Amino acid sequence: MPVQPSFFIAGAPKCGTTALYEYLRPHPNVFMPEIKEPHFFAKDLGTYPRIKALDDYLALFSDATDAHRRAGEASVYYLRSSVAIPNIREFNPEARIIAMFRNPVDMVYSLHSQLLYVSEETVSDFETAWRLQERRSRGLDLPPAIRSPLLVQYREVGQFGTQAQRLLAAFPPEQVKLILYDDFAASPQRVYDEVIEFLGLPHDGRSEFPRINENKATRVGWLRRLYRKPPPVLREAVRSLKRAMGGESISAAKKKLVALNTVRGHRAPLSPELREELVAAFRDEVALLGRLMGRDLSHWT
């Protein structure tokens, strides 16, 4: 029987989860699948979950060995999902959950850039996208390629206090590790060591923490949309090429194309007026998160 995951990096997006995933994967006693963000337990996120069947999900961990004392995965919208945390608890009541948070104002602005990059947002101006949330909640003005309308409900994605409260209601505090991105960015060694101890693992001596997952943008938008969601004719052509050339060759070619079509992104600062509006929108959530963590987060507001 495949090894079952016993820890989950449950979110939030743009809060350092990719970096933590990359730092943990080489640990000799940790197994994390190459596929990041399967989102198997987030059954309410439309087509966003990459894997639907339990057997297929467990197969992600089939290469784990006896040396891997902990198997885990990272899916950043588990916190946003209304059902993922209860589903994880039902799957494994002893699971350990890691949740990472940052100033939600900065998170939603960064998330908007990320969604633009992957063609799940089509409104390039963040303020306009923010003001579209009510219409989008009614199914209007949604990006054609979006896999779940919940992703562009930016306010709800940033309700970190509510998400942390829901998590702590589902799991006892000793099974939950709440991390501030600010701490992780300032002292990755300390936070990494804390995570290793939280997982009950020996330290592996890691001392280097390279910067990972910087803001990206697309050179040619229509090309990105083409390989993200190809038309039926192109999908059939790709399948034929895979049969003729092998899937690995096609995957390598796609990775090269994606790299050539990607540049380092630059975000202009939010206007003072919009930042003030966002700070007000998230003030209660920040206060709740601070109380739950026993931290003063007033500098976020």
Residue 111 in any domain: the answer is: yes
**Both 194 and 292 in a single domain?**
yes
**Both 282 and 229 in a single domain?**
no
Per-residue pLDDT, averaged over 149-169, amounts to 98
**Both 155 and 228 in a single domain?**
no
* Alpha-carbon span 209 to 19, nearest angstrom: 8
pLDDT value of position 253: 61
CATH number of the structural domain spanning residue 280? 3.40.50.300
pLDDT above 70 coverage of the chain, percent: 82
Residue 194 in any domain: the answer is: yes
Domain count, the chain: 2
pLDDT value of position 242: 64
Per-residue pLDDT, averaged over 174-186, amounts to 98
Nearby residues of 101 by Cβ (< 8 Å), 6 or more positions away = 12, 15, 160, 164, 178, 179, 180, 181, 289
Least confident of 37-41, 105-109, 249-253, 275-279: 249-253
- Say which residue, 235 or 76, is predicted with more confidence: 76
Per-residue pLDDT, averaged over 41-56, amounts to 95
Residue 1 in any domain: the answer is: no
**Both 246 and 274 in a single domain?**
no
**Both 195 and 296 in a single domain?**
yes
pLDDT bin (cut points 50, 70, 90) of residue 214 is low
Cα 237 to its chain centre, rounded Å, is 31
Dump pLDDT digits (tens) for 73-94.
Answer: 999 999 999 999 999 999 999 9
Residue 293 in any domain: the answer is: yes
Dump pLDDT digits (tens) for 98-131.
Answer: 999 999 999 999 999 999 999 999 999 999 999 9
**Both 18 and 56 in a single domain?**
yes
pLDDT bin (cut points 50, 70, 90) of residue 3 is confident
Tokens 């507001």 belong to which residue?
Answer: 301
Least confident of 38-42, 136-140, 226-230: 226-230
pLDDT value of position 257: 65
Nearest to 79 by CA among 34, 45, 109, 117: 45
**Both 143 and 242 in a single domain?**
no
Question: What is the rounded (10 degree) CA torsion for 248, 242, 260, 26?
Answer: -20
Taking a C-beta distance cutoff of 8 angstroms, is the pair 98, 7 a contact? yes
pLDDT bin (cut points 50, 70, 90) of residue 267 is confident
Range of the domain at 272: 7-214+266-300
Q: How many CA atoms lie within 13 A of 52 on its CB side?
A: 5
Residue 2 in any domain: the answer is: no
User: What are the backbone angles phi and psi of residue 94, rounded to the nearest 5°?
Assistant: -95, 5
